[in-house]
Amino acid sequence: MMQIIFFGTPQFAVPTLEALIKHPDLKVIAVVTQPDKRRGRGNKTIPSAVKKVAVEHNIEVWQPKSVKKNRETLDKLQQVQADAFVVVAYGQILSQEILDLPKFGCINVHGSLLPQYRGAAPIQWSLYHGDAETGITTMLMDEGLDTGDMLLKAQIPINLLDNAVDVAIKLANQGADLLIETLQKLKANTITPTPQDDALSTYARLIEKSDYKIDWQQEALTIHNQVRAFYPSCVTTFREQQLKVKATVPLIESKLDLLPSECQVIKQKWQDLVNLSGSNGEVVAILKNLGAVVQTKAGLLLLKEVQLAGKKAQSGWDFVNGMRVTEGERMNEEE
């Protein structure tokens, strides 16, 4: 039975941990996760999603502030003599001392098709760039940033209206399956690590507050990709109030066949819509049961779901009715 130590923190890592726990030939002997954080109105101490699962299954949990510098944790990692360390969105860099400990190495489950999107936010930047597919790569970790030799890959398509949460859920489940296959093949010595081609690499940097600001001088598809990549945080202003734009539909002829059934009315009204024009950020149409249609530099954008500051999220249609939005009104960049 393979002895595993699991490193992970957010919900994205949970399906992989659960798959390891359930597998009859694998044993999770400890979980390493980030320290509990204080959150919410009551400033309560909240454990990570991974810690909650570990506690439910009576698995020992270690939470060093810095895993590289915490001598107690380092000693424990040495003493357990695990076969493999599995790392999924842990949130800390592992030292070479740690990477060298397990028999089969440290295996990372990364949310992109490496060497594309090395770094902290691969799902978000894949969506931002309008990629048609993404996937999971398992790799042997080294001291670089997602630069280790690749083990296995699996791909998924990205649908036109998928946002970062949708894609993360799909990849988290896919990653769990791929990790189990990776461990089995490592143990059987039927897998050949493949070096990454650094010339093909791209970097998925951390998301900054400025990335959330919608610029209506951009094209409809560009804004749509921004909104779904940085869900649920993109903002504009409307009537001098901050308005979060949580979901959009790009009204572009080449994308009509990709729209879901609830948006089929757009196809029926396409000849009317295609003749509309206005200034960037202007509401040029109201589609019944759907919401406001906004002009961009190129193409129109339907506001499918929004949230006014201090209010609950609502559909584009409820927003139009509640605010009595009219054609000719304008969205503006968040100041």
pLDDT in tens, 206-232: 999 999 999 999 999 999 999 999 999
Write the single-letter amino acid at 42.
G
126 is in an annotated binding site: no
115 is in an annotated binding site: yes
pLDDT in tens, 108-126: 999 999 999 999 999 999 9
d(CA 121, CA 125): 6
Q: What is the pLDDT of residue 39?
A: 75
CATH of 209-332, one of 1.10.10.10, 3.10.290.10, 3.40.190.10, 3.10.25.10: 3.10.25.10
Segments in the chain forming alpha helices (H):
14-22, 49-56, 71-80, 96-99, 122-128, 164-188, 220-229, 264-268, 270-273, 316-323
Dihedral of alpha carbons 229, 235, 238, 242, sign: positive
Residues of the chain with CATH 3.40.50.170: 2-204
d(CA 295, CA 276): 9
Domain spanning 2-204: CATH superfamily = Formyl transferase, N-terminal domain (3.40.50.170)
Residues of the chain with CATH 3.10.25.10: 209-332
Tell me the two tokens of residue 299.
Answer: 């193409």
Enter the pTM of the model: 0.94
Q: What is the pLDDT of residue 124?
A: 98
What are the φ/ψ torsions at residue 140 (nearest 5 degrees)? -85, 120
